Amino acid sequence: MTAWTVASETGALTDVLVCPPDHYRWIPTNTIVKRTLAEAQQPAPLALAAQHAELVHALRQGGATVHVLPPEPHLPYMAYTRDSAFVTPWGPVLAQLERPQRRGEYAAVIDFHQGRFWRKSSAGTLEGGDVHILKPGVAVIGASGGRTDLAGAEQLAGWLRAEGWEARIEVFDEHFLHLDVLFCMAAPGLAVACTDVLDPAFLAWLAGHGIRCIPVPYRDAMALGCNILALGGGRVVSARGSAALNAALRAEGLAVLDPELSLFTAGGGGPHCLTCPLRREGT
């Protein structure tokens, strides 16, 4: 098996795992989807496929090799590959999904990684959307008590600390699903963040680690505005609907690849959620 390693959220993305949205549909398991279903009908399969193809094109345009996880009919949210497993400098970690509708996703992930994991989450719940490797040696783990609880976060933090890393656990309200709804890295030393919501102590901690934040307002964050994917090399994937943020990212000198992803952001996930980085080079 190829040795997958990721030492930061901003190194050059060379390999990434996605899952086609063949069976995707909105299910009312989070605040964002409940709002969506109150106002809209289920998305059309052809429209979903077209938007996902735009994302895959952007990933390849950014230089990544795209690996595909076969979708299963009874697991509509498999498209959000970020959550079921994530990769560290020591290899993949098998997560522990909280929602019953998603727990079956573990099987395909185990098959893809041929059962070889650095660690397997076994205490509480832990989902990849809450795990952010800011740079080599420093990570933050979100713990809303919903998707990732304190037991799951503490177990991962303990593994990282045993390797000599600094691991901060950031508590936030489960209204926001995962930490990547409120915060994502864009480039070394630069993040996007819903500063209206995040704890000032967390923002100060980021600043102490040399990370500056582009502010994203609450309304835009709930439309998955913060949910971006750094490709490395001054490039980032951000949904087309995030016009104001994309302009701010370009003003920072970043090249923004902006696929149309409105049908996925309406379901509670953007570019960060729809991708599981397998290998990154550099920092």
Which pLDDT does position 3 carry in this prediction?
87
Residue 104 has pLDDT above 60, yes or no: yes
Helix H or strand E segment including 193: strand 190-193
Query: Looking at the domain assignment, is residue 61 inside a domain?
Result: yes
In a domain, 249, yes or no: yes
pLDDT at 36: 67
What is the pLDDT at residue 42? 79
| Residue range 4-15: mean pLDDT, rounded | 98
Whether 2 is covered by a domain: the verdict is no
pLDDT, residue 29, reads 66
Give yes or no for residue 67 having a pLDDT over 90: yes
The answer to the question of residue 263 being in a domain is yes
Q: Does residue 1 belong to any structural domain of this protein? A: no
Name the residue range of residue 238's domain. Answer: 12-281
The mean pLDDT value for 82-89 works out to: 98
* Residue 126 covered by a domain: yes
Question: For the domain that residue 51 is a member of, what is the CATH number?
Answer: 3.75.10.10
Residue 7 lies in a domain: no
- The secondary element (H helix, E strand) that includes residue 280 is strand 276-281
In this predicted structure, the answer to whether residue 31 has a pLDDT above a threshold of 80 is: no
Positive or negative: CA dihedral 100, 114, 20, 146: positive
Q: How confident is the model at residue 105 (pLDDT cuts 50, 70, 90)?
A: very high
Please state whether 177 falls in left (phi above 0), alpha (psi between -120 and 50) or beta: left
Structural domain count of the chain? 1
pLDDT band at 2 (very low <50, low <70, confident <90, very high): low
